[in-house]
């Protein structure tokens, strides 16, 4: 979900305004994804590298995360959405951890869409941790590593979308996206919204997936 800061800069607004507008896009996209019947929607919300940003911006992002949980958790629960968090969210402040854990627990029994949110997440670290766990269990192969990833039990990524014109994966789901279709759009995340998701799904539907075969 890239481009919040550039969206704000273009409008001579502080970066925090871009992040707030980005939350509106999150809300629109999550609703549209349910309407479209997506089994899993994953959002890269905070990477392990984002700690390098100014402390004020990190604090603002944490505030927005708490606001989203407070304002949208009831809707997610009523829509039968199960929240899944990947990454080490335990590194956040205790109040944020408590809210995240509470949201996970409240939706744990839901059987509809899975909303997977990456928080303090980095794919390389995830794969190292998974390989170490597999080794400790006595066998390292594709199945054992996959079973120890943060996303264990979830399907592989079908479509990976990156907004704002950037064309790189930035340490996101490197294992899970092995055969994903990649879609890069110039649209900044705050402007992406429901229409952007529908357009992306339509473009994905036109592609032929061969998984290495003919």
Which residues belong to the active site? Answer: 2, 50
Contact 176, 150 (CB under 8 A): no
Contact 26, 1 (CB under 8 A): yes
Angle between helix 189-205 and 15-35 (nearest 10): 30
Phi, psi for 43 (deg, rounded to 5): -125, 125
Contact 120, 65 (CB under 8 A): no
Burial class (CB in 10 A: 0-12, 13-18, 19+), 87: buried
Residue 63 CA to residue 46 CA, distance in Å, equals 13
Residue 200 CA to residue 12 CA, distance in Å, equals 29
H or E element in which residue 196 lies: helix 189-205
């Amino acid at each position: 979900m890239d481009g919040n800061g550039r969206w704000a800069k273009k409008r001579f607004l502080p970066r925090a305004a871009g992040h707030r507008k980005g939350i509106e896009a999150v809300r629109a996209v999550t609703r549209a994804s349910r309407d479209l019947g997506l089994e899993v929607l994953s959002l890269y919300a905070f990477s392990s590298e984002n700690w390098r940003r100014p402390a004020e911006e990190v604090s603002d992002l944490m505030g927005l995360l708490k606001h989203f949980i407070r304002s949208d958790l009831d809707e997610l629960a009523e829509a039968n959405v199960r929240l899944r968090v990947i990454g080490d969210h335990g590194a956040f402040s205790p109040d944020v951890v408590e809210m995240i854990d509470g949201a996970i627990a409240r939706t744990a029994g839901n059987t509809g869409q899975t909303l997977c949110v990456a928080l303090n997440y980095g794919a390389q670290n995830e794969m190292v941790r998974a390989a170490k766990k597999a080794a400790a269990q006595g066998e390292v192969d594709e199945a054992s590593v996959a079973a120890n990833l943060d996303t264990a039990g979830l399907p592989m990524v079908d479509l990976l979308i990156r907004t704002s014109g950037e064309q790189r994966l930035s340490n996101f789901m490197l294992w899970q996206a092995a055969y994903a279709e990649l879609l890069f759009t110039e649209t900044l995340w705050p402007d992406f919204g429901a229409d952007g998701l529908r357009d992306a799904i339509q473009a994905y539907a036109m592609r032929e997936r061969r998984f290495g075969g003919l």
